[in-house]
């Protein structure tokens, strides 16, 4: 599906923008531990943006409901994992870290579904 290519590219753009914002605008404003948290959010944001692009590429060749579900899982993961880390770093509200593992589960589910879909299509 083209959706995953477009969403992946847009998400990668936002990840680069977040990383640049963190490196330039936030370096002097955040404590080192909060800056590290923000950078972790941006790093995982990019990894999973590339995952969405990979899902989109494989979907072009062999569409699969599993790939579509993998894309949604990764998207939810980006929003919850990276989003909660961005919010935590910017606000300092540590309770937001409780959301992060739910996003991590989205990432794990996305990669697992991607692997199953790839396995089924190559077998």
Distance CA 89, CA 40 (A): 10
Distance CA 84, CA 7 (A): 19
Judge whether 110 and 77 are in contact, CB under 8 Å: yes
Distance CA 71, CA 77 (A): 10
Residues of the chain with pLDDT under 50: none
pLDDT of residue 123: 56
The DSSP result for 9-54, as a single string, is HHHHHHHHHHHHIIIIISTTTS-HHHHHHHHHHHHHHHHHHHHHHH
The DSSP result for 68-103, as a single string, is HHHHHHHHHHIIIIIHHHHHHHHH--GGGGGTHHHH
pLDDT of residue 1: 78
């Amino acid at each position: 599906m083209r959706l995953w290519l477009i969403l992946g590219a847009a998400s990668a753009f936002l990840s680069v923008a977040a990383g640049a914002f963190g490196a330039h605008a936030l370096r002097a404003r955040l404590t080192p531990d909060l800056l590290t948290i923000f950078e972790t959010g941006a790093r995982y944001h990019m990894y999973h943006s590339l995952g969405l692009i990979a899902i989109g590429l494989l979907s072009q060749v062999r569409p699969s409901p599993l790939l579509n579900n993998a894309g949604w899982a990764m998207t939810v993961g980006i929003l919850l994992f990276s989003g909660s880390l961005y919010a935590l770093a910017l606000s300092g509200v540590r309770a937001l870290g409780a959301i992060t593992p739910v996003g991590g589960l989205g990432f794990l589910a996305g990669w697992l579904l991607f692997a199953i879909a790839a396995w089924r299509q190559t077998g």
